[in-house]
Chain A
Amino acid sequence: MASSYDTLKVVGTRPIRPDGVDKVIGRAAFGADMVMPGMLWGKVKRSPHAHARIKSINADKALKLPGVKAVVTAADFPSIPSEEAFVGEGPMNFRDLSRNCMAQDKALYDGHAVAAVAATSSAIAEEALDLIEVEYEVLPHVIDVEAAMADDAPLLHDDLFTQGVEPKPTRPSNIAKKIGFNKGDIAAGFKEAEVVIERRYTTQPVHQGYIEPHACVVSVATDGQCTIFSSSQGQFMVRAYCAKLLGTDIANIRAIPSEIGGGFGGKTLVYLEPLALALSKKAGRPVKMVMNREEVFRGTGPTSGGVIEVKLGAKRDGHIVAAQLVLKYQAGAFPGSPVGPGCMCGFAMYDLPNVSITGYDVVSNRPKVAAYRAPGAPISSFGVESCLDELARELRIDPLKLRELNAAKDGTKTAHGPTFVNVGYVQTLEAAKNHPHMQQKLGPNQGRGIASGFWFNIGGESSAGCFINEDGTATIVEGCPDIGGSRAGMAMMAAEVLGIPYDRVRPVVGDTASVGFNFLTGGSRVTFATGMAVTQAAEKVVVELKRRAAMIWDISPDAVEWKDGMAVPAGANAGNFDPLSLADIALKAGRTGGPISAEVSINAQGAGPGFATHICDVEVDPETGRVKILRYTAVQDVGRAIHPAYVEGQIQGGVAQGIGWALNEEYIYDRNGRLDNPGFLDYRIPVASDMPMLETVMVEVPNPRHPFGAKGVGEVPIVPPMAAVANAIADAVGTRMRDLPMSPPKLRAALDEQNPPRMAAE
């Protein structure tokens, strides 16, 4: 049905999103916008220490404060054995998740929750926090990733032994895991190389920076049934995690997704919901909890910072014959950095004969990392794509040409194993090369950089229902929170299949009791996987519609065709009948067998990888070290754009986050391990005046596994920007910035080092 993209009527257009009006008039209900009758306000008491043993917690004074109804600590949560399960975004150890939500025995970072209180007002709850007495024994802490790897580093967990090394270690370590990928013979490769360069790069942890802080309102009834209204990337994730952490049955929890004010991976796990449930249970009243921005920075997951060591060996003609990568990723206080995908994505764009990749997952006294857009890939790619640029300069080969020479294509065997199929990387290079941007003249202190990126994209479990209403309109119910306009895409795909106008289809993101299981919104999967479920549900409905028309006409269902939203006889032999519209059939549904609907649950496979190539022009102010982005063009293989405006939006948003990562964003800790910049004033994300218009070029290499050719698009755009900016700065002023962020003081210092200030000339 979707074999010919040319005949599509709805897919590929740009209709207004169904939830749009509510959002521009301020009526959409986000996490903090809901109230429940009789509800209390919950607040979290957080550790002021980076690393401390909790000797005692005394809540007596707090509980005596009028209006305070309950206090909970780790003692109010069931003890969970250490077990790893892959249920969220990456392996999740529920013991760690429980301890991250509420510290047990030890506080492991500044901002770690140690207690929570519920009171009749937000002000009373706040006041009560100061009355909860926590006695700490402050322990030595470690913030830096390499310091945490040292033999004499303070240990966060005395039961953490490095996985992936032989023989099995006998002493605990902050290195949770060592992993490696190898291809060919790396030593022989470097021997064969005519040019070898070896560089070290570093990145800082950066926060997802969603503007909506975490928020929820929950109620627990005396029979144990729970309702959770919260902002997350997955109501089914919230339900599963809370059931596990509270020790209750999944069926006892109904999780209702609010509108979500950004997530980018940061809302793929829970922080407040389990605490609110515990408070609600204890107090016997609903509880609302909302984080403030400081809590978001101190207590929720950024992505890793890391060290990236790259060594490349090439022939003089530009063919890379050996490539080595060592990655050290901060996991925060519990194991689970995205070093695995970091390892796999670093060299994925290239066809390399000899490769060695080693990765370390390292805990330190920082908040536990959470997923952030293409988790792991931007970090390794900053190193690799910068180093490629350095190699290109060494070889005097155009950086784009160097990428073309070594580009992965269909049939390329990757360093992590699989042989690529259906990849559009070369097409992005080609489109970049031919883009007018590449011809634009540059002035003094201006430079141009290019960089590429890869991300896997995933499919996964999705359920959707397509319900035909009595008047021939349709309701789509699916279960993935809509962060970037995905509901519009769902309605478009259903409208396309049903053959009715877009605004006759209304999509709803259902709660956990209204639709079958959906894995969360993440991994660039929703338009692909949930879109596939929606499409299949609509297709099942069309089969049924044809059957009903056949019944009305009293002919065989095989003799009915579905065309432009109407049943028509398939050819002259079928008989001569006036077409029956969807509305005609819907009206008679009761008489032809009952309501017409279909529900589909799938585990979508074949997501198809994402490739991108970005072009960035900068101007460096040599006086201040400030970098201005002059022009930015992002080329990406998007498969097939369902709603092109929201695909562009995903690309532009990823680029902007990447520019912030490149130029400004970082966590600054003081010597006591306390976060110094937990606010948007000092943790500076890009604002409108920092940005130019962001040009997007959508290369369409359709994904044969999706009914409309869609590939995931949300994540790969954040992979290239950091190196693209660094390469542009090097091109502009000849200074190679290898440590992020490339903030004005750092760039100014590097410029001074390169050209010592000429004092005498004054």
Chain B
Amino acid sequence: MPHVVISGTAARRFTGGASEFDVEADTVHRMIRELDRRFPGLGQQIDEGMAVAIDGEIYQDAYMEKLSPDSEVYLIPKIGGG
């Protein structure tokens, strides 16, 4: 199942410090819902403050993006720009 890593320390307050999880999910949205179920509040934090890197490619606000069973997912701070 997809392996999810919260990169950086910003969101670890929701997880009691844990940063790596295996999450049974086939889309970004289902992954976020599952993480929020385990760590209430984390879902909103991901929604509003984080980008999702799936196998190296960065997605922002992409609920419907697919995850495969061997996906490597990183949650990183959202990117803006000038």
Contact in complex: A417, B79 (CB < 8 Å)? no
Contact in complex: B60, A421 (CB < 8 Å)? no
Residues of B close to A344: CB separation below 8 A:
76-77
User: In chain B, what residue has the closest Cβ to A341?
Assistant: B79
Q: How far is the CB of A665 from chain B (nearest CB, A)?
A: 16
Contact partner, B82, options A166, A522, A603, Cβ 8 Å: A522
Contact in complex: B48, A85 (CB < 8 Å)? yes
Q: Is A181 an interface residue (CB 8 A)?
A: yes
A525 CA / B17 CA spacing, docked (Å): 34
Q: Is A154 an interface residue (CB 8 A)?
A: no
Q: Is B26 an interface residue (CB 8 A)?
A: no
Q: How far is the CB of A529 from chain B (nearest CB, A)?
A: 11
Total contacting residues, chain A, CB less than 8 A: 56
**Contact A603-B61, Cβ < 8 Å, known A457-B81, A523-B81:** yes
Q: How far is the CB of B47 from chain A (nearest CB, A)?
A: 8
Q: Is A577 an interface residue (CB 8 A)?
A: no
A343 CA / B7 CA spacing, docked (Å): 12
A394 CA / B74 CA spacing, docked (Å): 36
Binary contact readout B56-79 vs A (1 if CB under 8 angstroms, 0 otherwise): 111111100100000010101111
Contact in complex: A419, B77 (CB < 8 Å)? no
Q: Is A18 an interface residue (CB 8 A)?
A: no
User: Which A residues from 230 to 278 make CB contacts under 8 A with B?
Assistant: 263-266, 268
The interface size bin for chain B is: 20 to 34
User: In chain B, what residue has the closest Cβ to A609?
Assistant: B58
Contact in complex: A523, B82 (CB < 8 Å)? yes
Q: Chain A binding site: helix, strand, loop or mixed by DSSP?
A: loop
Residues of B close to A85: CB separation below 8 A:
48
A89 CA / B78 CA spacing, docked (Å): 9
User: In chain B, what residue has the closest Cβ to A423?
Assistant: B56
Q: Is A284 an interface residue (CB 8 A)?
A: no
Residues of A close to B59: CB separation below 8 A:
605-606
Q: Is B53 an interface residue (CB 8 A)?
A: yes
A705 CA / B9 CA spacing, docked (Å): 30
Contact in complex: A86, B7 (CB < 8 Å)? no
User: Which A residues from 677 to 708 make CB contacts under 8 A with B?
Assistant: 705
Q: Is A709 an interface residue (CB 8 A)?
A: no
Q: Is B22 an interface residue (CB 8 A)?
A: no
Residues of A close to B62: CB separation below 8 A:
603, 605
Contact partner, A418, options B9, B10, B61, B76, Cβ 8 Å: B76
Contact in complex: B79, A418 (CB < 8 Å)? no
Contact in complex: A375, B81 (CB < 8 Å)? yes
Contact in complex: B57, A606 (CB < 8 Å)? yes
A461 CA / B61 CA spacing, docked (Å): 9
**Contact A605-B60, Cβ < 8 Å, known A265-B82, A375-B81:** yes
Q: Is A458 an interface residue (CB 8 A)?
A: yes
A422 CA / B56 CA spacing, docked (Å): 9
Residues of B close to A715: CB separation below 8 A:
81-82
Interface-central residue, A86, A208, A264, A714, by most chain B CB under 10 Å: A86
A416 CA / B58 CA spacing, docked (Å): 12
13 A-B pairs with CB atoms under 8 Å apart are A85-B48, A89-B80, A179-B8, A371-B81, A371-B82, A418-B53, A418-B56, A419-B56, A419-B72, A421-B55, A456-B81, A605-B58, A715-B81
Residues of B within 8 A of A (CB): 5, 7-10, 13, 17, 48-49, 53, 55-62, 65, 72, 74, 76-82
* The 3 A-B residue pairs with the shortest CB-CB distance in the complex, in nearest-first order: A523-B81, A265-B82, A417-B74
